[in-house]
Each structure stands twice: as C-alpha cells, then as structure tokens.
Amino acid sequence: MSRLTIGFGSGALGRVVRSGVGRRRVQTVVIAVAVMMAVASAVVAGSLMVATNAPFDHAFAKQHGAHITAQFDPAKASTAQLKDTGQLDGVTASAGPFPSTTIHPTGPGGGHFPALTLVGRSDPHGGVDDLDLKSGRWAAKPGEIVVSASFAGPDIKPGFTMQTSDAVDSPPLTVVGLAVSASKTADAWATPGQVRALASEDGPVTSQMLYRFDSAGTKEQITGNRKKLAAAVPAEALLGTESWLDTKRAADQGAAPTIPFLIAFGVLGIVMSVIIVGSVVSGAVGTSLRRIGILKAIGFTPREVVRAYVAQALIPAGVGIALGVVLGNLLAVPLLEDTEQVYGSASLTVAWWVDVLVPAVALLVVGIAALVPALRAGRLRTVEAIAVGRAPRTGRGQWAHRAAGRLPLPRSVTYGLASPFAHPVRTTAMLLAVAFGTVAATFAVGLTSSLNAVGKAQDPEDRAAVTAISGVPGDEGGGPRRVEVGQSPPSTDPAKVRAAIEAQPGTASYYGMFQADVTVAGISGSVEATFYQGDSRPGSYEMISGHWITGAGQVVVPTAFLERTGTKIGDTVRVTLGKDTQTLRIVGEAFDGSNDGLSVRADIASFAAAQPQVFQIEVEPGVSPAEYAQKLAAVVKPLGGDVMVNSPSEQENMILILNAMAVLLTLMLVSVAGLGVLNSVVLDTRERVHDLGVCKALGMSPRQTVSLVLASVAGIGVLGGLVGVPVGFALHGFVLPVMGHAAGTDLPPSVLEVYETPQLVLLGLAGIAIALLGALLPAGWAARTRTATALRTE
C-alpha cells in the first residue's frame, strides 16, 4: 500500500492514509466496488456507442470498400479492357476482374439455402475490398469455399459441407473460412477456377470489377461514374452495378435506432456514477471529521489533512477503476462480437480512448467528491472538527422522531423511519441512487418489451413456417423474386402450386404474395410493391393508424411513404404495374421500414396481371416444418417451384443483442444503486453504534435491530420507487419514438404501450427491494454486534 501512498507523502502522512484505508475496510471495499461497477458500465456503454456510431463507415474505410461493384459480360469485354477501366479519370483504385456466378446450394439434409453470389478470388486482400477473414482460412483449392460471416451459425462454420445444387451429381463445397466484406461484394468466395467450373446455363460467369473513385459521395456522382464505365467498354458489356450508398443506407438504418438506446443508458450510468461515487467518498470523509480534528490537534496542517483524506478516497477508487476497465472490456467483447456480426462490419474492439477517457473522468469525479468535504474539513478549527465529528448536530431530525413515535408501529420501526432525517444530504444521495436504479429497471423492462414487440412486428411474412415459391428460387435474401416494371411473372402455374399446398397433409393456412417494382405518381424511380392473395392477416404488418387491406382498391403504406408524398390516410395514389394503372385508396399506415419506407402493399385483385409468386404457409400443431417442406418440395419442384423453411432474420438477432445490452447495463446500474445504499447504511450504522448498544441494553432483540436498520431505508425505497417508475416510464416514452424516427418510421401502439398496471406496481416495489437488499449486510452486522462492544464503540 506504501507505493500507492508515496505521492501523498511517507512518514506520518503515509501512515494516516494507510490507517484510514485499512481501518474502514467496509467503506474501502464499497468505494472500490461502486467505482468498479460504475466504470465497467461506462466502458460497456461507451464502447457500444462507439461501435454503433457509423459502423459501416469505419469498416468501409478500413477495408478500402468498393464505391461501385460492377458486373461485365466476359464475352463482350476482355480482361485487358476491364483492367484499362481502372485508369479512367476519377478512379483512384480498382480490383479484378474476378469471375462471378450464382449458385443455389443445399445442405446435408436437402434443405435449400438462399441463392449465393459466388466470386473467385485467390486472395482475400487487395487495394479494394480488403476482406476481413473472421475464422478459418482462405479457399486454396477446388471443393473449398469461404462464406460471408453474416451466414455464420451453429451449422455454418468451417468444416460444414454443402452441395452446389440439388442435382444428384452436384459437387460438394466445404466451408473453410468466414469473411466480412463491408461492401457486400459477394456472399461467398472460392478459387477462380472453382467459380468457372460451377458456371451453368442458369448461372453464367460474369466478370466482377471493384472501383474506388475520388468523388462518390452522392447519387449523382455514382451515376456519372457509372456512365464513365459504360462508355469505356463495348456496348452492352456492362451488365449492372451496385452502389456503396445503397449498402451504407441499409447498414446505417440498422445502427441508427441503437444510438438513442445506448445514450439513455450511458447518461443513466454517468449520473448514477456521479451520485454514488460522490455519496460514498464524501460520506467516508464526512464521518472522519473527529479524526481530522485529532490529527490537527497533534500538528497536521490543513493541507496535509486534505491530502490525507483525498488519498484515502483515491486509493480504493484507483483499484476500482482498474478493475472496472478490465471488467468492462470483458463484458463488452461478446456484445461487440454480436454487434459486429449483425452489422456485417469489420472486427470491432473497445476503442483505446474509451479505456483512457472513462478512467480519467472517474478519477476526476472521485477526486472532486473527496476534495470538497476534505477542504471543508481542512478549514474547520480543531475543537469544532472534534465536536462535529461525534454525531449529528443536536436536535437534527428530532421532529421526525416525534412524528414517527405517534404511529401505531413498534418503536424499533418508528426509530428507523425517523433516522434518515438526521443526515439530509446523505439521505438525498441514497434516495437519488434508489430512484435512478428504479428508473433503469423500469426503462429496461419497457425497452425489452418494446424490442420484443418490434421483433414480432417486423417482417411478418417471415413468421410463416414454410415458404413455397412458384417458379425459380428467390433472390439473395431468400424471399420472392421481384419482377421489374413491365416484366412477366414466372411461367409456372400458381394454381398448381396452390392445389399442392391445399392437398398436402399438415397445412393449417396459407396466403399468396406477388412482389414487383411499380411506379407511383409523385415518386421518381421504382417503388417496391407487394400484393396479397387470400387471407393475408397472418402476414399483416402492425398498423400505426388505419387498418390492414381488406379488398381490392386499397393500399397500405409506411410512414416514410406518407412523408415523401405528403399524403395521409384516406387519400388516393396512382400505382402502375407494367401497363396497368390503378387508383388505390390509402387505408392504413404500416410499421414497415423495408426499402427505405418506399413500399406499397395491396390486394392482388387490384391488378389483373398479378399472379402469386410465393405462398406463405402455416403448418398444423405438431407438424415439423422441415418434414412438411421436404414432402411438399417433392410435389412442387417438378412443377418448377421450390419450398424452404423460414429461419430467424438478422432483425431478430439485433433485438436479442439489444435485449442483452439492456439486461446487462440494468443489472450493473441496479448493483451500483444497491452499493450506494449499502455505503450510506454502513456509515449511519457505524455512527449510531453507541445508540444501538444503549437500545440493546434496554432489551432490543437482534430481530428488532434488523427491523430498525431496514426501516431506516424502507421509506427511502418507497419514495425512490414512486419517483423512479414515472421517470422510467417517461424516459421509455421519449427514447422509443426517437429510436423509431432514427429508423425512419413511427411506432405502433403495440410497441409503445407495453406497460401494464400490475407491472408498474411491481416496478415500484423494485425501489424498496434495492433499498432493503443494500441494507441487509449492515443490518446483520448491527444485529450480531454485542451490547458491550457497541457501547464501547463510537
């Protein structure tokens, strides 16, 4: 301990510091643990805030992501011509050409995966799209494949084997690694020779080129750069391009809602830390005033007294800060790994400056909290310090004892109820700690309930157990294939697929879906449209206002659509599918953030040419979706369709992560609140140990002693709960809409109105629970203390 105190002096001053730290072991431990939990919660919240602050931008810059991912026809543009495009004006870096194709792999049990874009690269690194290999190694020979880390799961990991298609003679591919591409240039990678070998009539080889430009920050600049590429190669050689702005927008939409959530918990943690650390340290210094007077009497100067008691606070706080940084990093790492997987970003770690800033701020808070009462003590005259240090001022809180004595309660309880009024500052700090702990618990309960409601409301078509596709397999997301404006739907007869579903044993219900890009009057470009056939209520979105579609001529749209078009429920919009234009009436505002909120949902009967592409199926209770899908696929595949079992979406994974964050941060904040109560009760019990000895001498039993100590915090717990629950309720009502607006949507009542009256009552009792749990240890100590020992101690 001498090494820690050397900065405050050796000799007598060092001995005073060591004695104070060792003598008040409970306060020393409380200070260390309270600071540790406060610092750990701040490190976790701070690291997550940094991680979710533009995670795509950081990952994209680190990997030198591609501003444009272009696909060329190798029959019309040679390798030399494609490499020459890297010398165009404005191109700062390029990579490729890489052979690219699309495969439709199946698992060991015959289960179908979404269509995968497979790109041939001999090395993960390069000047553009420098991939981050998360696990395993790079594919080095035929039969090996590296998949995107977004597909990682219990099954898909290095060593997993898949078939390239459902054909009998399809070659197997073994997953040897998981990689992250911030640009999302591919779903999987293999050797260039492997990609060419897997090409087929349905998945011909194309040439992929990756480009970085000196100006690519706007849609107009991307369009101009695309025109340069198209002009530099033969006509129709450029098959398509993908802009990094689209990938960035999708990633930012996922990250934006988490920022208000983390800020709320971060602010709670900071305020809680200041309250608890300030209360603990100032209380420890304040209860030593008599000792300070004695030190002055034997020759200590005011400056030495201040240094001694600041050191007594900083030593355990320093230990707590060091342990808190370590604990915060240990707790943050798994959450960062989950966040990294959901955002598809490069490797995330706790930012170095978080590990520097948080301890520095914590040390400053502890120093100020210790310095203020220490300066007051340093200014006290010797006689006054000795007198003040003995007990609370004469008469303080006596009115409370007189009022409590009139209550029809045992004397030990009324004595405890009146005790907090003897130390109003300490009681206020304890009340704030309990209130903030209740706020955190109330907010967390509401937040997790809302997040679970969001999970249930998002992507309702994914709630179906099985998806049957009429025609070729779906797009890369596993959903229905979207039809471009003017394009004909799949040629497979949907009626035959529908008949197969109806005839399949185990079918509980189903409805058809048709997705297409349409044009809407007042909106430039195409808009995603989904048309429903049959009873679509199982796949209906949560309604913010209005109602779900009930027939032809009606349309449901998201919040962003209403804002973009300046329309409201009851207005009409003109929707064009191919050559068919219909006027549809807006009947509902849906909780739907897909496609940037520019989407429409209507009945399939509104357009004569629309035919269902996809059927979402619910199976009867007790029926295995996997077995049902396998049996239905045997009937549907010969018709040209396909069947697959639905799996949880990334949105659900993100909600699980946010729930974990909420639970972890809440437990830490509630623990800090409990420690604040523990410290205050320890100080109060130590100060009143002589009074307790007198009460015991007069016949107070250990059980009555426990009730006295617990009663001293019961009123604070009740008041803290009464204050904390409304504040937590209001915080939830403020933060949730902010999170929704960050995602570009309003929120439905099912997400906002999640509290029930019994739940609020129980949360109100949380304040009492925090107070009583924090007081249990000192109550037990007071009950076990012998009468004679208590009478000799002060």
- Give me 437's structure tokens: 């702990």
R_g of the chain computed on alpha carbons: 34
pLDDT at 2 over 60: no
Please report, as a single letter, which amino acid is at residue 119: V
Angle at 653 between CA 652 and CA 657, to 5 degrees: 115
What are phi and psi for residue 417, nearest 5 degrees? -65, -30
- Give me 785's structure tokens: 């203390």
In DSSP terms, which residues pair with 135 in a beta bridge? 178
Angle at 618 between CA 614 and CA 622, to 5 degrees: 145
Q: How confident is the model at residue 262 (pLDDT cuts 50, 70, 90)?
A: low
Quickly list H helices, 419-492. 424-457
Is the peptide bond prior to 302 cis by the omega test (within 30 degrees of 0)?
no
What percent of the chain stands above pLDDT 70? Answer: 73
Quote the CA–CA distance of 225 and 227 in Å, as a whole number: 5
Q: What pLDDT does residue 485 have?
A: 34
- Give me 637's structure tokens: 């595949």
- Give me 312's structure tokens: 């007594």
- Give me 53's structure tokens: 């602050």
The 10s digit of each residue's pLDDT in 12-71 is: 556 656 665 556 666 777 778 778 877 887 787 777 667 666 667 777 888 888 898 988
223, 440, 441, 696 from 667: Cα distances, Å:
50, 9, 8, 37
Domain segments of the chain as ranges: 1-65+253-390, 68-215, 393-458+649-794, 461-648
Quote the CA–CA distance of 377 and 300 in Å, as a whole number: 12
Instruction: Specify the higher pLDDT residue, 169 or 562.
Output: 562
pLDDT at 211 over 90: yes
Angle at 406 between CA 403 and CA 408, to 5 degrees: 130
Q: SS3 string of 34-79? A: HHHHHHHHHHHHHHHHHHCCCHHHHHHHHCCCCCEEEEECCCCCCH
Count helices and strands (H / E) in the chain: 25, 20
The 10s digit of each residue's pLDDT in 76-132 is: 988 899 999 988 888 999 998 999 988 878 776 555 666 788 899 988 888 898 888
Q: What pLDDT does residue 5 have?
A: 42
Q: How confident is the model at residue 138 (pLDDT cuts 50, 70, 90)?
A: very high
- Give me 721's structure tokens: 């709960």
Tell me the three state secondary structure of residue 430: helix
- The model carries a pTM of 0.64
Q: SS3 string of 174-241? A: EEEEEEECCCCCCCEEECHHHHHHHCCCCCCCEEEEEEEECCCCCHHHHHHHHHHHHHHCCCCCEEEE
Quote the CA–CA distance of 553 and 586 in Å, as a whole number: 9
- Give me 787's structure tokens: 């009468």
Quick one: how far is CA 538 from the chain centroid? 28
Please report, as a single letter, which amino acid is at residue 652: E
- Give me 71's structure tokens: 């696909």
Residue 5 makes CB contacts below 8 A (sequence gap 6+) with 14, 17, 18, 311, 315
Averaged pLDDT, 740-768: 82
Q: What pLDDT does residue 8 have?
A: 47
Q: How many CB atoms lie within 10 A of CB 236?
A: 10
Q: What pLDDT does residue 472 have?
A: 43
The 10s digit of each residue's pLDDT in 696-740 is: 777 777 787 778 888 888 888 888 889 989 998 998 888 888 777
Q: What pLDDT does residue 573 have?
A: 86
Q: Residue count of the chain, please give it.
A: 794
